[in-house]
Each structure stands twice: as C-alpha cells, then as structure tokens.
A and B are shown apart, each in its own frame.
Chain A
Amino acid sequence: MGDFDFDVIITAIPFLLSGLKVTLILTVTAIIGGVIGGTLLALARLSSFKPLSYLAGGYVNFLRSMPLILVIFWFYFLVPLIVGRPIGGFYSVLIAFVMFESAYYCEIIRAGIQSVSKGQAMAGKALGLTYAQSMQFVVLPQAFHNMVPVLLTQGIVLFQDTSLVYVVGVHDFLVSADIIANRDNRLIEMYMAVAVVYFLMCTMGSLAVRILQKRLAT
C-alpha cells in the first residue's frame, strides 16, 4: 500500500462525478417510476375484478423470480426490437429498472395498503367517497406514511443494484471508475474510492431511514 496515490482519485473526480450522475439519475427515476408503477400494480392486485388482479399478480411474481441482470439483458435486446430502432443502453436499463422495481414496490405498497384497517376504507365509503377517493384521501396517505422506511430501504438496495448496468456498457459510477482504473493501472485506488462513496451514500441513506422511523413512530 506504500504507493497508494490519492492524486489519481482527485484528478479522476470530474469523470467519476459524471458517472455518479448517471447512477443517481437511474436510482431516482427508478424509485419514482417504481413507486408509481408499484402503486398501480398494488391497486390492481387488490382489485375485486379478478382478471386484473391475476394479471398484476402474474407480472409481479414473474419479475420477482427473475434475476435482475437477466431483465437488464432482455430490455437491452428486446426494446429495440419492439420499437424498431436502437434506443441506447441508458434508456433500456432505465425501463428495465422501472419495470423490475415496480414489481418489488408493488409488494411493499400492497402490504402498506393492507396495514391500514378495513374500517378506514369503510368509513370513507360511508361518507359517500368513491373507491378512488377513499384510496386517494384516506387509505394511501396512511399506507405511505407506514411504508416510508421500507420504501427508502428498497431505494438503497436499488442504488447498489444500478451498478449492474455495466453489463450493457452504460457508464455509471462503477464503470467510470473501472475505466480509469484500467487506463492508469490504479485498480486499488479506484476500487477503494468507489467502495467509500457507496459506503457513505448507503450509510447516509440508512441514517435517514432510521431518523424517519423514529419521527414516524411518535
């Protein structure tokens, strides 16, 4: 370790930051898309209209039994076939992540909705609210309130999982570091820097979850 060279890391910072930006955009978009998709899927799964419920259930169970990396491959090769033109690695992984995370968020949100007592929805209905209104104003706000910590935890897992995009050549944070590491033959420095950044960001995320949990509990 005697020749550990910090300068390598410092000069690489602008390049690394552009990679980190890709990672963060992917993470944030996948969380937002996943929560929206997951909410719709959860509502479909809980629907009393059986075909819809089965369809959503099938989708969720299918994606949850696939390795993420396979889903990334699929979308990389399938989406261009469907839309008839190449869309690039970034957009294909973006779609893959949103679709994949929707399945996971669906299960979290479904549990959240079911954690709200049936009497609440009944009280909403008794006041004349429609199903959609009672979901929107009564059940979902309480469900999300209960779910925030779990949703964020899933977000942290997702943040780490985005590193898998290297398989289709998207330049995220890890890939950027890897490029420098190989170009300058500074593997130790770069991989250490990557580890520290992932560690710090995930720790901060977990800390935020814990603070939120405490605040929500009161």
Chain B
Amino acid sequence: MIQIENLGKNYGAFQVLKNCTTQVLKGEVVVVCGPSGSGKSTLIKCVNGLEPFQDGNIHVDGTSVGEKKTDLPKLRSKIGMVFQNYELFPHISILENIGLAQKKVLNRSAEEADARSMELLKRVGLSEQAEKYPAQLSGGQQQRVAIARALAMDPIAMLFDEPTSALDPEMINEVLDVMVELASDGMTMMVVTHEMGFAKKVADRVVFMDEGHILEDLPKTEFFKSPKDQRTKEFLSRILTH
C-alpha cells in the first residue's frame, strides 16, 4: 500500500532523512518510533506529500508521490491524516469540520455528508457534540473528531503523527481505543507514536528511527524482544522503564 524507497530529504545542508526504506502493506499497522528530532514526523508527512523530498520515492497505492504530475490533492483525499495538535478548524462546527472536505472534495451533498459525519461521530462516541465548536471540546474529544474527519473521506490508509503527544494523560486512552478499534477493523495504518503499549497491542511491525536513519524495521515481537541496534535498546529501556 505504502512503499518508501531510499527516501532522502534535507533542509539546506541539514539532512533530515537519509536513505529510508520501508513499507506498509494493506491492512498492516506499522508503528514508527524514535527520539525527538529523529525525522519520524517528517517521514510520515512525506507519505502524502505534505513535505517535499529530494531523493528516493514513495508510492501510495501505486501512485508516485514524488512525481511532478501527480495530483496530490486527489491522492491526499484518499489518505487520512491525524496531527499531533488535532488541527480542527476552529471557525466551524464539529459537524462542518467533518463535512467540509466531503462536500468540497468528494462532492457529496450536504445531506449525504451530514449523514456520514453523524455516523462517524457516533462511532467515536461524540454524537452529542455535533453542533459545538472545537474549542468547546476537550483535547481527547478533539482528536477523536479529527480521526472522524479523516475517516469521512473513506481513506485507503491512515497516517497518525503523534496523535496522543499533546494530550493530558487521562485522555490518551480514549484516543488509543478508537485507534485500536480501527486497526482491528483492518485499516492500513502508519502511526508515529511513543505509546509502546499501543504498539505491543496492535502493531504488525515497528520501525525505529534515529538521526534520519531507519535503524530497525522488525515484526513487533522481535522488535521488543531482540532489537539489533544499540540505540534501539537504549531507547526502549528509557521509554519502557516507567
């Protein structure tokens, strides 16, 4: 579904991504972790072309992301993305947040869009909040709306960029629960996160990054039991001791 081949990206002289190769198969859940500044957020933003890259290429569902001729808006409409800071649109209601792209990109009628939005709000447990504005919701609720907004486009894959990093601890689980449910429904997911509990529960593979390199790309059990690189071991011991 997502093939990343020898991806390289630099900001001027600084290399953020170096020769990264990995893939996410259909129905697979891949967790990407690593210390901050390791390039994992940049990597996931390259997948739907939000970040341009210089070397290598990415294919999503057979479409080359790096190609100049690629219709990026069309490609992005098929890939859901959830951000660390939710990025709901503060000037419109929850219902309109979920409906906007359905109407403008997928050309659904207002009735169709509203019906689909309500269905998804119900799924994330927020039917009551449809008429409210984002600022009236808690962080965890906002992030669940953001997931519903992405799902409303009927995506073929979902990208999560540290979806729980901005949340208060007591709200993390309500978001993770939604993600676990998605995973068990067979959604193809690429998730940048520090939530190793989530990785252990639903990931098929775990990718570990440091300083722009992909250091590990292993099936979940192997990753936690016998990581190869010293830095992975250090990272895991730091993150799992608490």
Contacts and interface: CB of A to CB of B under 8 A. Distances in A.
A142 B91 CA distance: 7
Contacts of A43: none
Contact of B76 (A119, A120, A127, A137): A127
Residue among A124, A128, A142 with max Cβ neighbours from chain B (10 Å): A128
A63 interface: no
Contacts of A126: 48, 50, 76, 79-81, 83, 150
B104 interface: yes
B73 interface: yes
A130 interface: yes
B50 A125 contact: yes
B50 A127 contact: no
B40 interface: no
A141 B74 CA distance: 24
B100 interface: yes
A-side interface mostly: helix
Contact of B100 (A117, A122, A127, A142): A127
A122 B87 contact: yes
Contacts of B50: 122, 125-126
B189 interface: no
A122 B105 contact: no
Contacts of A128: 73-74, 76-78, 101, 105, 153
Contact of A119 (B85, B101, B150): B85
A138 B89 contact: yes
A129 B105 contact: yes
Given A122-B50, A137-B104, A127 B150 contact: yes
B87 A119 contact: yes
Nearest to B76: A128
B77 A127 contact: yes
Interface in A124-180: 124-130, 133, 137-138, 141-142, 145
Contacts of A130: 73
A119 B83 contact: yes
A123 interface: yes
A193 to B, nearest CB: 43
A137 B99 CA distance: 12
B149 interface: yes
Contacts of B101: 124, 127-129
Contacts of A123: 81, 83, 87-89
B90 interface: yes
B83 A122 contact: yes
Interface in B59-98: 72-74, 76-81, 83, 85, 87-91
A84 B134 CA distance: 56
A130 B75 CA distance: 11
Contacts of B87: 117, 119-120, 122-123
Interface string A8-30: 00000000000000000000000
Residue among B76, B77, B81, B101 with max Cβ neighbours from chain A (10 Å): B101
Nearest to B72: A125
Given A122-B50, A128-B101, A142-B89, 17 more contacts: A120-B89, A123-B81, A123-B83, A123-B89, A124-B101, A125-B73, A126-B48, A126-B76, A126-B79, A127-B77, A127-B101, A127-B150, A128-B74, A128-B105, A137-B89, A137-B104, A138-B89
29 contacts: A117-B87, A123-B87, A124-B101, A125-B72, A126-B76, A126-B79, A126-B80, A126-B81, A126-B83, A126-B150, A127-B77, A127-B101, A127-B105, A127-B149, A127-B150, A127-B153, A128-B74, A128-B76, A128-B105, A128-B153, A129-B73, A129-B105, A133-B104, A133-B105, A137-B104, A138-B89, A138-B100, A142-B90, A142-B91
